Structure 1
Amino acid sequence: MKFSFDHNNINVLDLEKSVKFYKEALGFVETRRFNATDDSFTLIFLGDETTNHKLELTCLKDRTEGYNLGENEFHLAVVTDDFEEAYLHHKKMRCICFENKPMGIYFIMDPDGYWIEIIPRK
């Protein structure tokens, strides 16, 4: 029996704001959208146009409060082919929330408070 990654899911309050952030910050594009027949939720799948792995954004229409992310000890991680350019881009966006210079990585935060680790390609 073999398993492989398909997607990760996060819940977001403002779907369009999140889609815009992931496009601007990481270049992710919408690959699929699903609207519930009762209009209670919408799913948008984002891809990096390189791998098959997707990020699923779920927006529950009746949700008005932000999500409790606990101590936010979980995160997504992406690799970039131009770490310096990515860093300058994210600095300009003002979305860098933590830097670990000794490890050579940093984190950005999306509109809902989720952290994304930025790693240089080695």
Structure 2
Amino acid sequence: MKFAFNHNNINVIDLEKSIAFYKEALGLKEIRRKEAADGSFILVFLGDDSTSHALELTWLRDWERPYNLGDNEFHLAFETDDMEAAHEKHSQMGCICFENKTMGIYFISDPDGYWIEIIPTK
């Protein structure tokens, strides 16, 4: 028996704002969408054109308050082949929320407060 990653899910308050953030910050593109017939939810899957792994954004019509992210000890991680350019872009966007210069990594925060780790390609 073998398992492989398929996708990760996060719930978002403003779907279009989140899609725009992930496109600008990480170059992710919408690869598919599912909308409930009754309008109660929308699922948008974003991809990176490099892997089959996707990020699923879930929007719930009846959810109106920010999501409880606990202590934000869980996160997504993306690697980049140009840390300097990535750091400059994210600095300009104002979304860097934590840096560990000793480890050579940093984190950005999306519109809902989810943290995303940025690491150099090894």
What TM-score results when the alignment is normalised by the length of structure 2? Answer: 0.99
Matches within 5 A, 1:63-82: 63-82=63-82
* Structure 2 counterpart SS, 1:78: strand
- Structure 1 segments unaligned to the other structure (5+ residues): none
Q: Which amino acid aligns with 1:28?
A: L
- Structure 2 segments unaligned to the other structure (5+ residues): none
Deviation (angstroms), 1:73: 0.2
- Alignment of 1:90 onto 2:85: no
Matched residues in 2 for 1:115 and 1:105: separation? 13
Matched residues in 1 for 2:70 and 2:110: separation? 16
Aligned counterpart, 1:20: 20
Aligned residues: 122
* Structure 1 counterpart SS, 2:87: helix
Q: Which amino acid aligns with 2:95?
A: C
After the TM superposition, which parts of structure 1 deviate over 6 Å for at least 4 consecutive aligned residues? none
Matched residues in 2 for 1:49 and 1:64: separation? 32
Q: Which amino acid aligns with 2:60?
A: L
Q: Which amino acid aligns with 2:104?
A: G
RMSD: 0.3
Q: Which amino acid aligns with 2:11?
A: N
Matches within 5 A, 1:8-47: 8-47=8-47
Deviation (angstroms), 1:17: 0.1
Deviation (angstroms), 1:97: 0.1
Deviation (angstroms), 1:44: 0.1
Q: Which amino acid aligns with 1:92?
A: Q
Q: Percent identity?
A: 69
- Alignment of 1:111 onto 2:111: yes
